[in-house]
Structure 1
């Protein structure tokens, strides 16, 4: 069992050790920004205001009971209103504290919110195919670039899926959540990394449930080519890297 020891220890709480560490927050170092900057000349897309009109299943019990990892999608596009709802439900800001902490639709350790949401968009009404980034403070989309042969690139990134090969490229949208670890390390030092993994699970579970509520299906993806997806999105793989993916599409009838 020794080959598992290091990873099992990672899963445990090390709070007593953490209590004796002088974190960067305690040292008075500047708090990292809550979101990434972008060029003022960038193409910004306004997202519709989130409302309940997109919801087809209002009963949370039914959403939880019906939740499954969906790997078969129809050719139907998501509406921009539905995408706005999915983004708000997974990283949307509901209020901001006097100290500048953002309170969101998902729980997060110490409101550190280390995640950035990138989107591989294939089928959303009124939106061209390409790579986008969600701007939670403004609740807007930042267009990053078009990606030649986007479906083939998604295939290469998501490697050999064990149950339904090549299913990811058939989704309407693929969510790719990166982490900027220092947002949590600044406050939690060596205990940050376990918290980040816990927190990204909250994000993806919300994606499952809200997808169910609009008649769509989601599937979490933990098998992917780390180096390739970081390169495609222009991430350096150290200060920021992709942590988790989720495919979403309307269910095939």
Structure 2
């Protein structure tokens, strides 16, 4: 019997000739910013000087742990680098706001809430990041970390389902999870830039956390959390242990929803039942060590492979904040080669890190990469090698599988993240589907940032004919493609 994640992937799979068309109901277009009314607020600094850390220092987690206490300025920098408005274009009703994290269809379903303790300039309690007005909105005041000695912050990342469902319908849950992955990785890297040691949590009691956040769980739900604190505060505690007095410390009234109408993004925000169902069905998990699921056929030791040395430090290492601010989605790829050094930064940028990305396999279609034969490869980070899986240039075929978006075929390297969802669920329970999708989004964000640092283009693709994409890559039937990211030289980098 298929697991929850695999069933949902099959139910929402795109099949050539069966998409059915449709149109966007512009009268029901969702709002892109969430606002709370008449609650206490804390303004964030307007001018936030960057911390000065370089991209590679942050990307490789080479930034030392800071002994500085967390304050409003440092917290503001993390929030802005994670999800702040980086630019705007157009005017009036046609205005578009660029954000630090990308989003499928520029619909931005995610919101950030922060629970803080001991942060100078911010009242202890739970706050919503109102990025449109550059402020924190206080939702609950109190000490929710028990007898914590020091400072601590937990970033809760939610998704308002209708924002994505307005365009993508049943398939929207995929994009909510991928967007959560992009934003989660941005929070992690921004925290590292501030000398913090972030820890990512994706397994928590949905009902308990959503109730604490005060949101409408039928419209909005927490999908991930990132915790950081002064040395020794977090240790190896679970997210549930960060709130030892919750909910006992709060009376019934304090646990009431906080302006649930704030989660309404449209007068007709009907969320497809399949999204609410899969979210409910992926709530549970089993304890265990995450793994990529079913092994690939054959003996990897005997496969043809090419070693890819780690990238040299290089003379040019742009500031991390500058890379985040410059990041955009680019589709104007030019069919030029890619130096080994540039490819090395992209590939090794997918390093597992402390949180681990072992739930997904990283594949890539390489063409014009120095020292690599054109073909489909499996990236083996543990051995720093690219394993040749399927020779030949299959970029045109993958572009066709990606809803005939022919611009994809000019990208020098096209990455695809896939997982054996059935095997993962056997190991970790239904929650494994969320973990795999979020990790795919996190890896996609790392590719976006590494490409930007190299003056290359990158663009994520979540829409593809599922079976065709798997066939082009030559993957076993049990493996599902989760996310595709095109990278490579572009005709002209335009920085807005």
Give the TM-score range, shorter chain. 0.7 to 0.9
State the match for 2:138 in structure 1.
143
Between the aligned partners of 1:11 and 1:249, the Cα distance in structure 2 is 37
Q: List aligned pairs for 1:9-88, cutoff 5 A.
A: 9-11=7-9, 14-16=13-15, 19-22=19-22, 26-39=24-37, 41-53=38-50, 55=51, 58-66=53-61, 77-88=69-80
Query: Offset at 1:102?
Result: 2.6
CA contact (8 A) 1:172 1:248 kept: yes
- Secondary structure of the residue that 2:132 maps to in structure 1? coil
Between the aligned partners of 1:249 and 1:9, the Cα distance in structure 2 is 39
Between the aligned partners of 1:67 and 1:151, the Cα distance in structure 2 is 29
Which moves more between the two structures, 76-85 or 135-144?
A: 76-85
Q: CA 1:186 to 1:143, structure 2 compared with 1: closer, same or farther past 3 Å?
A: same
1:186 to 154, 161, 166: 166
Between the aligned partners of 1:75 and 1:122, the Cα distance in structure 2 is 16
- Secondary structure of the residue that 2:219 maps to in structure 1? coil
Q: CA 1:212 to 1:250, structure 2 compared with 1: closer, same or farther past 3 Å?
A: farther
State the match for 2:81 in structure 1.
89
Superposition RMSD in Å: 2.9
Q: List aligned pairs for 1:164-243, cutoff 5 A.
A: 172-243=152-223
Query: Offset at 1:123?
Result: 2.2
Q: List aligned pairs for 1:152-167, cutoff 5 A.
A: 152=146
Q: CA 1:186 to 1:16, structure 2 compared with 1: closer, same or farther past 3 Å?
A: same
- Secondary structure of the residue that 2:176 maps to in structure 1? helix
- Secondary structure of the residue that 2:78 maps to in structure 1? helix
- How many positions carry a matched residue from both structures? 227
Does 2:108 match 1:113? yes
Between the aligned partners of 2:88 and 2:174, the Cα distance in structure 1 is 25
Between the aligned partners of 1:144 and 1:196, the Cα distance in structure 2 is 24
Between the aligned partners of 1:8 and 1:81, the Cα distance in structure 2 is 43
State the match for 1:160 in structure 2.
none
- Higher-RCO chain (CA-CA 8 Å, sequence separation at least 6): 1
TM-score, structure 2 normalization: 0.42
CA contact (8 A) 1:89 1:105 kept: yes
CA contact (8 A) 1:175 1:247 kept: yes
Deviations 1:56-88 (A, max 9, x none): 5x22212222279xxxx9986312111111111
CA contact (8 A) 1:215 1:251 kept: no
Q: CA 1:32 to 1:239, structure 2 compared with 1: closer, same or farther past 3 Å?
A: same
Q: CA 1:77 to 1:243, structure 2 compared with 1: closer, same or farther past 3 Å?
A: same
CA contact (8 A) 2:158 2:180 kept: no
Between the aligned partners of 1:96 and 1:9, the Cα distance in structure 2 is 39
TM-score, structure 1 normalization: 0.79
Query: Offset at 1:239?
Result: 0.6
Between the aligned partners of 1:198 and 1:118, the Cα distance in structure 2 is 18
